[in-house]
Structure 1
């Protein structure tokens, strides 16, 4: 019964992972705002400092505190930092599908609402699926000066294939699910892929950071992204996985330097790659 199985699979796809909040690296002193989003309710948006704006975007099942290690050094460098919780995440209201449910489009709409409320950003930082969200606002016309992507997620076609394989769904059910997802999103699954954006001329100078031991998003995604996006530098860590990489001094130093234009510029060949051991700098 493909249609019935599809309904259950779609529900599972939109269900957030049942995990407690992970690390919180935020400094004191943030101001929390409530920003309305198009499908109803509000999202929590926290701000620090004054100056050119950098927006931090968490991933699926995450929250703004996970990117808190970037806040203090960016504020010290003269930036205003904004971190947003997507609907159903962190301190935001539930999304339109109800508690513990979410969609990538709600992530995108939350970032768009934040930019509309607080003005354009000179820098965007995404983690995991937050990188796809950053890519979507770039494709829609956002023009930050620089972007940093930490542990970018693989293409949605790959994710759908992994998901249907995990559930052992048959071909007809998988097709039903793909069609349902595209109906919810209003676009083909391939429209969320990051790598092709490099050929569209919408990507600013970019830093990509990825750990070789990441078990949630494969390191090969970062390698492909660095090869296909112009003006991109890849920093590789080891031993930090998918979440600890966010708080590593290796990552924080590289991202902050990139966003405030210190150190090596991003305008290097796509093959350029900096190796760093996360284990020695935790």
Structure 2
């Protein structure tokens, strides 16, 4: 017991417990020496250019108090170099995680739980595998929340619409319409973004899985990237993404159809010993006028 108390006292002296003033860590974590901790991630707004409601805002995990139950003293809930307190050790997700087959996994596979760096005054093992985050870390940074922030920051837009007939011209009922996406990392992927806080970094990677075209007349078309139109194609149909209007746009608002292309982005994220998949969408619009062929009598 005396050895444990001396070790804990030595740790307190080395870390300055009871004498360190509140400070802000590099990753947006604010903790006083003893007492409350709070975590905030602030993300700048996403550049405009597409019809999407995503904006970048951060949040906080609130506050909590942490205690060394062996010595019955309060300790910082979070320390930058050591991680989060979970009686009676500081835990920090090892970044990067060890490769498959590393003894630290204790026979488990990467993604099955996580490996943590541990600092234990009671001389616990310095590297530990856990199936779930140690108790107390749930008051810290949630990798899934960081993933949501990373998704909001992804440099992705709605499709860069290619369409023939082109906006500003008039199409004809029954004639082929070509639809495609002018692909780039912002409009097709892959695109990636990382967000860090509390010693955890989460990276989200996204690519488009499909584009749904709302043609403005009550019908939709689902495609991939589509095929760009070339003058040499003449009046041929698109081999991959096309449409034919059965009615004119006369009578619709502005006498045009609003064509809306909505891209579904599949997102895979990983970090903090966790991983997951989700989807998000981005949309773009153009106006298209469609008329009828006028036949003049002799």
Point out the structure with the larger strand share.
2
Is the TM value for this pair above 0.5? no
TM-score bucket of the superposed structures, by smaller chain: under 0.3
TM-score (norm 2): 0.20
Q: Which of the pair has more CA radius of gyration?
A: 2
TM-score (norm 1): 0.20
